Structure formats: structure tokens, C-alpha cells
């Protein structure tokens, strides 16, 4: 598995955990093409909380401009991956390997 695949899997798993915690969504039912508002029934307050939790969990900051085109789980995963600082990517994969082993 490549670094980018590991990172994608880790970010996706972490985001599913955030959605489970905030929306009560079963992680096994969350698809990358699921619309955060229509399919997962998030409202605007939920969206703010999701962003705040992701920023804290991944140690990053997402701007309103970056978030404008985010509608699906996959959109948010892609934005997180793009926004992660390079050292944060390495740490996320390291933590993933440590927890798996």
C-alpha cells in the first residue's frame, strides 16, 4: 500500500469516526459519495462542528473558501488530505501503523 493510499484510508476512517460521534452515523454505512446534508442529515450547525472536530483531530485549518465546494464525505476527505501539513501526513500514517500493530 502506498503512502497516499494509507493516508486516504486513515483520513476516511477518522472522518467516519467524527461523523459517528456527531451525527450518530454508522461508519460502515458512510460512503464517499454520501452528501453530508442530504444523506447524513447534517444541518449547518452540525457542519460547523464536523469542521471544528476535523481541524482539531488533524491539526489543520480549513478556510470558508475551501469549504464552499464541500458537499460529500469524499469532498471533505480530499480537502483534509490537501490541507494536511506534510509532517502531519507522516504522523497520521505513523499513528495508523502503531494502532494497527
Q: What is the pLDDT of residues 7-54, one digit of tens each?
A: 999 999 999 999 999 999 998 889 999 999 999 999 999 999 999 999
The CB density around residue 10, as the number of other CB atoms within 10 Å, is 21
What CATH number has the domain bearing residue 8?
A: 1.10.1200.10
Q: For the whole model, what pTM was predicted?
A: 0.81
43 given a catalytic annotation: yes
Q: What is the pLDDT of residues 41-57, one digit of tens each?
A: 999 999 999 999 999 99
Q: Are 62 and 79 in contact (CB under 8 A)?
A: yes
Task: Examine residue 15 and state whether it is found in any structural domain, yes or no.
Answer: yes
- Quote the CA–CA distance of 55 and 3 in Å, as a whole number: 21
Q: Which of 26, 33, 38, 43 is catalytic?
A: 43
- Quote the CA–CA distance of 51 and 56 in Å, as a whole number: 9
Number of domains present in the structure of the chain: 1
- Quote the CA–CA distance of 39 and 25 in Å, as a whole number: 10
Domain with 20, as residue range(s), is 3-95
Task: Examine residue 101 and state whether it is found in any structural domain, yes or no.
Answer: no
Task: Examine residue 48 and state whether it is found in any structural domain, yes or no.
Answer: yes
Residue whose C-alpha cell is 500493530: 101
Amino acid at each position: 500500500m502506498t503512502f497516499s493510499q494509507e493516508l486516504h484510508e486513515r483520513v476516511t476512517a477518522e472522518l467516519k469516526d467524527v461523523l459517528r460521534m456527531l451525527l450518530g452515523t454508522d461508519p460502515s454505512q458512510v460512503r464517499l459519495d454520501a452528501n453530508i446534508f442530504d444523506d447524513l442529515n447534517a444541518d449547518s450547525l452540525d457542519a460547523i462542528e464536523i469542521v471544528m472536530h476535523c481541524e482539531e483531530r488533524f491539526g489543520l485549518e480549513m478556510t470558508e473558501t475551501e469549504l464552499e465546494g464541500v458537499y460529500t464525505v469524499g469532498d471533505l476527505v480530499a480537502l483534509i488530505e490537501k490541507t494536511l501539513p506534510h509532517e502531519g501526513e507522516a504522523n497520521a500514517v505513523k499513528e495508523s501503523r502503531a494502532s494497527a500493530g
